[in-house]
Structure 1
Amino acid sequence: MKRVVVGLSGGVDSSVAAYLLQEQGYEVIGLFMKNWHDDSVTISNECPWLEDSNDALLVAEKLGIPFQTVDLSEQYKERIVDYMFNEYEQGRTPNPDVLCNREIKFDVFMKIALSLGADYVATGHYCRKGTIEKDGNEVYQLLAGVDGNKDQSYFLCQLSQEQLGKALFPIGELTKPQVREIAAKMDLVTAEKKDSQGLCFIGKVRLPEFLQQQLQPKEGLIYEIDAAQDTYNLDKPVFDSVKEQLAFEAKNIDYKPEMGKVVGKHQGAHYYTIGQRKGLNVGGTKEPLFIIATDVASNAIYTGQGHTHPGLFRKALFIQGNEVHWVREDLTLKDGETMEVMVRIRYRQPLQKATLHMFDNGMYIAFEEPQSAITEGQFAAWYIDDELIGSGVIS
């Protein structure tokens, strides 16, 4: 019997994952990760970790599998929380869920599981794993979940071949309603439980307040840039190379206060992100204001009216060479090579047609259609059909 450690989160997905593995004849062990100690920033009545670990325990008892809690809060603080603060401080928007999978669940947690003699680690992610043979070697594939509405392959976009080799995703072939149905049939306490929101395994965290503990508020001005601003109507230069053109298309516009008018005040540019609409508290505009740029150095926020404002759109993005990650290492591009793929730049975004262009200093992704709110610090993930083959941090 192969031994599998399941990350029981106290939610319905991981509960059903554990049950399905048991049905498939694995020896199953349930582990709950405690990643957080500071209850002052969690909205305590919305899924605090205590309630979750309790539910996880009840599921383990119902299935008759061993269960224990592992405290990873130190590693979580170091690898996820500190990283997030640092990113926000520099005006970028990190994705803690992608990092949590790479750094915690499939690294720290996986090592604990393997030390318990496990052959695999399983999670309740809506995605699938495939195995193909290439040049005599086994190659693992990260495939989208069958439930298009719930597909979570994006959150696993930073996994390596080694991590994928030891991973199992038992519910990837199912839809959410099917998962709930199995849980109800098995009379699992989590069958009707609402999906958790907020940071991976922490429960619901009030992010702005959470960040404010570390990042001091700093009053600054909000500027509105008119859609007819000259900067959007400049003539395109003549380019000597494709690389030069891509660099131009991926470049952020350098906004200056004199390009717009002051429409309000904010408490710190580092609390805001590109494309954000809520939380600006500026009224009196015909259409809602969207953030088109933040400048943490000068503590300014630039906005534009309406979701079609030209300041929101770009045709390309850049990923630094050391941030380009291939799940499928055998498909790695060399300098000067290109590849037609489908890309998403945030979770749940419909896949977009694009071309990867690899250069010595990094990769450009050129989109067929201009993309709204390309955000520094977030991950771009690229797919061929329903297989996620690589990803990288947007620069």
Structure 2
Amino acid sequence: MKRVVVGLSGGVDSSVTAHLLKEQGYEVIGLFMKNWHDDSVTISNECPWLEDSNDAMIVAEKLGIPFQVVDLSAQYKERIVDYMFDEYSKGRTPNPDVLCNREIKFDVFMDIALKLGADYVATGHYCRKGEEIIDGKSVYKLFAGKDNNKDQSYFLCQLSQEQLAKALFPIGELTKPEVREIAKEADLITAEKKDSQGLCFIGKVRLPEFLQQKLQPKAGEIVTIPADFNAYVKEHPKFENKEEELNYFATKFSYNKEDGKVVGKHQGAHYFTKGQRKGLNVGGTKEALYVIETDVNENVIYTGEGKNHAGLYRNVLFVSNDEMHWIREDLTLKSGETMQVDARIRYRQKLENATLHKVDAGLYVEFDNKQSAIQEGQFVAWYKNEELLGSGVIS
């Protein structure tokens, strides 16, 4: 009997994961990750982890599997929360869920599982794993989940071959309604439980309040940029080569306060992110204002009217070599090579046609269609035929 440690979160997905593995004859152990109890920073008013760990324990009892709570809050603070504060302070937008999977679930947590003699670590992610022998060795593949509505492969876009080798995703072939049905039949307390929102194993985070605890408020101005701003309408130069063209289109627009008009005040540019509409509290415009750029050095937020404002859109982004990651190491591009892929720059976005261009300094991702709110710090992930091949941090 192979031993599997399941990250039991107290939700229906991980409950069914444990149930299915037990049915398949594995020896299953349930562990709940306690990722937060820092009194100097409150993450939310509710304290969902208490209720969640309780639900996880009840599920483990029902399934007749050993259960314990592991405290990973020190590592979580250092690797996720401190990183989030640092990124926001630089005017970038991190994705803590992608990091949590790479740094916590499939690293710190996986180490604990392996020390318990586990052969595998299983999670309730909606994605699928494949394996193929290439040149005499096993190559592991990560595929989108069968349920298009719930596919969570994007959150695992930073996993390595070593991590995938030890990972199991038992519900990847199922849809959410099927998972709930199985939970009901198995009489699991989590069958009807609502999906958790927010950070993995922590719950709902009210981001502005969260950030204000470490990043001090600092009054600044909101400037709105007109739709006919000269940089949007100027003629493009002639390019010597493709790399020059890609670099030109990957470069974001730069603004000065004189380029638009001051329409309001804010409490800190580092609390805002590109594409954001809520929280600006500026009235009197025909269409809603969207953040098109934040300048944390000058503490200015630049906005544009309407979600089709030219300042929101670009079709090329860049990933530097040190932020680039291939799950399929065997497919890594060499400088000068290109690859046709489907790509997304955020979870739940539909996949878009794109071309990868490898250059000496990194990788350009050129989309066929312009993308809204390409934001530094977020992850771009690229796929082929439902397989997630790699990802990188947008620079």
- Same structural fold, with TM-score higher than 0.5 when normalized by the shorter chain: yes
Long gaps (5+) in structure 1? none
CA contact (8 A) 1:12 1:180 kept: yes
CA contact (8 A) 1:318 1:362 kept: yes
**Residues 41-190 of structure 1 correspond to what in structure 2 (within 5 A)?**
41-45=42-46, 48-190=48-190
Task: Report the Cα offset of residue 8 of structure 1.
Answer: 0.1
Letter in 2 for 1:235: E
Spell out, residue by residue over 1:274-308, the C-alpha distance to the aligned partner (whole angstroms, 9 max, x if none): 00000100011000000000000100000001111
1:198 is matched with which residue? 198
2:330 is matched with which residue? 330
2:251 is matched with which residue? 251
Task: Report the Cα offset of residue 43 of structure 1.
Answer: 3.5
CA contact (8 A) 1:315 1:369 kept: yes
| Aligned counterparts of 1:207 and 1:201: Cα–Cα separation in 2 | 16
Letter in 1 for 2:390: G
Spell out, residue by residue over 1:13-60, the C-alpha distance to the aligned partner (whole angstroms, 9 max, x if none): 000000000011000000000000036634344x61000000000000
Task: Report the Cα offset of residue 199 of structure 1.
Answer: 1.0
Letter in 2 for 1:26: Y
2:17 is matched with which residue? 17
CA contact (8 A) 1:3 1:28 kept: yes
Letter in 2 for 1:8: L
After superposition, the CA RMSD in angstroms is 0.8
Spell out, residue by residue over 1:157-185, the C-alpha distance to the aligned partner (whole angstroms, 9 max, x if none): 00000000000000000000000011111
1:350 is matched with which residue? 350
1:224 is matched with which residue? 224
Task: Report the Cα offset of residue 207 of structure 1.
Answer: 1.3
| Aligned counterparts of 2:178 and 2:42: Cα–Cα separation in 1 | 34
CA contact (8 A) 1:324 1:393 kept: yes
1:367 is matched with which residue? 367
Letter in 2 for 1:41: T
Spell out, residue by residue over 1:233-252, the C-alpha distance to the aligned partner (whole angstroms, 9 max, x if none): 11101111111100000001
Task: Report the Cα offset of residue 261 of structure 1.
Answer: 0.2
Q: Does 1:270 align with 2:264?
A: no
**Residues 312-331 of structure 1 correspond to what in structure 2 (within 5 A)?**
312-331=312-331
| Aligned counterparts of 2:381 and 2:315: Cα–Cα separation in 1 | 16
Letter in 1 for 2:42: V
| Aligned counterparts of 2:315 and 2:192: Cα–Cα separation in 1 | 43
CA contact (8 A) 1:11 1:196 kept: yes
| Aligned counterparts of 1:242 and 1:44: Cα–Cα separation in 2 | 51
Greater than 2 Å deviation, 4+ residue runs: 38-45
Provide the aligned length of Structure 1 versus Structure 2.
394
Task: Report the Cα offset of residue 226 of structure 1.
Answer: 0.6
1:339 is matched with which residue? 339
Spell out, residue by residue over 1:178-229, the C-alpha distance to the aligned partner (whole angstroms, 9 max, x if none): 0001111111111111100111111112111111110000000000001011
Task: Report the Cα offset of residue 78 of structure 1.
Answer: 0.3
Letter in 2 for 1:153: S
| Aligned counterparts of 1:201 and 1:43: Cα–Cα separation in 2 | 13
CA contact (8 A) 1:8 1:32 kept: yes
Task: Report the Cα offset of residue 385 of structure 1.
Answer: 1.0
| Aligned counterparts of 2:211 and 2:229: Cα–Cα separation in 1 | 34
Spell out, residue by residue over 1:129-177, the C-alpha distance to the aligned partner (whole angstroms, 9 max, x if none): 0001111111000000000000000000000000000000000000000
| Aligned counterparts of 1:50 and 1:154: Cα–Cα separation in 2 | 28
Three-state SS of the structure 2 residue aligned to 1:336 is: coil
1:29 is matched with which residue? 29
Q: TM-score, normalised by structure 1?
A: 0.99
| Aligned counterparts of 1:135 and 1:271: Cα–Cα separation in 2 | 49
Long gaps (5+) in structure 2? none
Letter in 1 for 2:385: D
Letter in 2 for 1:185: E
Q: TM-score, normalised by structure 2?
A: 0.99
